[in-house]
Amino acid sequence: METLAALAEIEAVSPMARIEALAEAHHLRVWRAADESMVSLKYTSETKLTSTMARECQCERLEGCCPADGQVLNAGEPDGAAEAAAFDWPSARAYTKADGTCMLLYYRASMEAWQVATLGCGDGSNAVTRSVADKTCGKASGAVETAMPASVSTAGTFADLFWAVFHDVEGYALPDDRSVTYVFELTSPRNRVVVVHDTAALELVAMRETASGDELRLDAPQGDSAASALATLRSEFVGVSPLRFEGYVVVDAAWRRLKVKHPGYVAIHHLDNRFDVRNVTNVIRSGESREFLTYFPDYAPLFDDIAARFERLAAQLAAEAEALANVGAGKAASRMRATSVLPEALALVASGATKVRGALAQIELKALLGALRLKDVKAKSGKRRAARKRARKAAAAAGAATPCGGGSDEGAGLGDGWMAAASRWRHGSPDSTDVDVVYVVPAGVALPSSSELIEFVRRGKEAGEDRNVVQLDASGQVAFTLKGEADEVNNALVATVGLHASNAGRTCPIAGVRRRRVLQKALNVSSALAGIVAHATSDEELRGACKKVLRNRDGRARFAGLARVLGGARAEHVCATIDVDARKAVAMQLGLAVLLSRGIEVYTKGEVAAALPGLAPLLGRAAEPGADAVGALGDAIDEWASGMAGLQWKKVKGGWIEVREGRAEGGGMAVGAVAAEVREAGKGGLRVRSKEWRVAYEGMR
């Protein structure tokens, strides 16, 4: 196979560098094991699938593992024209395509054990993907799940889920032949893509000889004849819900494959499973709701709610337009601005250019969502933009260049522009399943705009990286960071870049540690904890309580609310309603904040677990963390929240934060440099211009 040959050639030169070059040339995503002993390649949305080698890159360069079936192209897809022309329809058989996760079972000799991989992660350690039901504003998907073993319901990673279904659902035994890679499709309510699955299952779909990549014939039913070609296959989709049936895979005598997908499945998948208010509102205002609901009846509750709002708005605008019919143009314009619920749409109707529904279809979606009183989940926060602007100004004042309007030219790797001056560093916990990467830009180099940097970071997900971009000041410390706070990122890099083998022999780019802003970290974590739980919980009452905490402008009340909602005995209920990833995130954020309030700086999961051993099961994403770990989480929240009671601060108009010395209840955070600064400020308290809930003074210990 082309990719195996290319990798064999690479191995003789400089393995990691050449693999990176290959991935960059073909826009492939690279996964690396924590110790970089294994690497896998996977195509992305930008990969040109006319390249056979690129299509093969679904799971390559794993010890003892060969690719699955390469990227199977859709019949009629432009990139698959050559494949379709060579396809031997008379010999082809059609097989129902399972809509799940492709898993590869292979024997890893160095571990003397069978191991599983997903197409994008060579050891299956990536977290189980949320189901569609979790992405639809809390609306149920309509699936009726059958009883599943606890091992399936609580599996945190795809490897865990695979083995749970393999042993506890299917009752399979491990194969005797270790020279073969076995390709399965894993389906369950836990990893739903589009099709609704009522139970968990594993279907063996292919076998390949590991050494050569040659496909082996399955002892399985031979499928239905596909000789009547595409039209006949597609006619079978009529009247069948895409939430129950994805389509077919058609295989000819030479093992060539084509996919024939249900057109409704394609439509829903292209929405990227985001049945949010923006997508649904666009469907409704385009007049396609009835047709769309015939494909996706599970989402009728969400459609009905927004459609009802839309109809009320249309009726109100029609009434407003009728009232303006006999009013002069000048008065009509002023009345529209003063009284109309949606002046933009009413102006179009009053001008005679269109009727009400036509106007609602033409105006900006943001304005329409506002009139419908729906939250625009995709709109950028003005406060965040303002915060980024202030951060760039601070970086400039410290000697670093502010972002300008240039482009990143990511396709050139570390080529021309700011990327040419940047250095790439692994950081964070060395045993993390995430690939944390920071791009460090020296002082004086012009950065692109924030939106371009955010896009660069977003695209890192396709490359298998969790990216950040920082810029140093003239002293060599972090002055600007796209994510996080400069003081924390600065010190985290100093502490962790030396823990990664890929950084061996290189000098840390950061010139020493900075003093940490403890109260700022605490304020950030208060938002993070409530936000994580609100997003992940399945309990609507708990979600509402967390949102109420986030809206609280009084600092003391906010921390009291956090303790009341998440602390003590409530931690058991919280942990029961959120998944393993959310539990890990809560434990990590809380652990960092508690330790920092004690004057202890740590930056890795292992260090937090060592200092707060009670949280270790949560940090390790244990499916069943145990009562002791849950109790430790509740106690940590209580300790942290009560420690903040010694200071009182409030969010006030204009983004100012007023900090006053409060009662020294149990000491905690009422002592130290902050209290001294407050006393020095006099009766008026300390007022600092900063972004929402962020305090710009230094020091707290």
pLDDT in tens, 120-175: 888 888 888 654 433 333 333 333 445 678 888 888 889 999 999 999 999 999 99
Domain co-membership, 137 together with 254: yes
CB 660 within 8 A of CB 649: yes
- Shared domain for 456 and 584, answered yes or no, is no
What's the pLDDT band for 446 if we cut at 50, 70, 90?
A: confident
Instruction: Give the domain CATH number at 161.
Output: 3.30.470
> For 349, which DSSP code?
H
Name which residue leads in pLDDT, 376 or 496: 496
Claim to verify: residue 544 and residue 629 sit in the same structural domain: yes
The predicted pLDDT at position 536 comes to: 84
Integer angstrom CA distances of residue 530 from 181, 353, 540: 44, 47, 13
352 and 387 share one domain: no
Give the per-residue pLDDT at 292. 59
Same domain? For 75 and 208 the reply is: yes
Same-domain pairing of 226 and 310 = no
CA nearest neighbour of 701 among 521, 533, 581: 521
How far is CA 694 from each of CA 302, 380, 487, 493, 587, rounded to the nearest angstrom? 36, 19, 13, 22, 22
Residues 681, 540 share a domain: yes
Bridge partners of 541? none
In a domain, 41, yes or no: no
Specify if 673 maps to a domain: yes
Listing DSSP states for 129-198 in one string gives: PPPGGGGSTT------PPP--HHHHT--BHHHHHHHIIIIIS-----S-TTEEEEEEEE-GGG-SSS--S
Task: Kindly state whether residue 511 falls inside one of the protein's structural domains.
Answer: no
Lowest mean pLDDT among 190-199, 215-224, 366-375, 602-611: 215-224
| 144 falls within a domain | yes
Domain-located, residue 27: no
Domain boundary (321, 343, 371) is at 371
- Asked if 440 and 461 sit in the same domain, the reply is yes
How many domains does the chain contain in total?
Answer: 4
Q: pTM value?
A: 0.41
- Residues 558 and 456 placed together within one structural domain of the fold: no
Residue 341 lies in a domain: yes
Residue range 687-697: mean pLDDT, rounded: 33
The answer to whether residues 239 and 341 belong to one domain is no
- Domain end point (choices 503, 538, 559): 503
Residues 629 and 582 in one domain: yes
DSSP state of 127: B
**What is the radius of gyration, based on Cα positions, of the chain?**
28
Tell me how far apart the 2 most distant CA atoms of the chain are, in Å. 89
Structure-model confidence comparison of residues 131 and 467, the more confident one: 467
Structural domain including 458 reads 382-503
Q: Is residue 561 part of a domain?
A: yes
Q: Which residues pair with 661 in a beta bridge?
A: 647
Give the range among 61-65, 212-216, 218-222, 623-627 with minimum mean pLDDT: 61-65
In a domain, 653, yes or no: yes
312 and 439 part of one domain: no
Pick the last residue of a domain from 328, 348, 371.
371
**pLDDT tens figures, 366-400:** 888 888 888 765 544 445 555 555 555 555 555 44
> Please, what is the end-to-end C-alpha distance for the chain in angstroms?
61
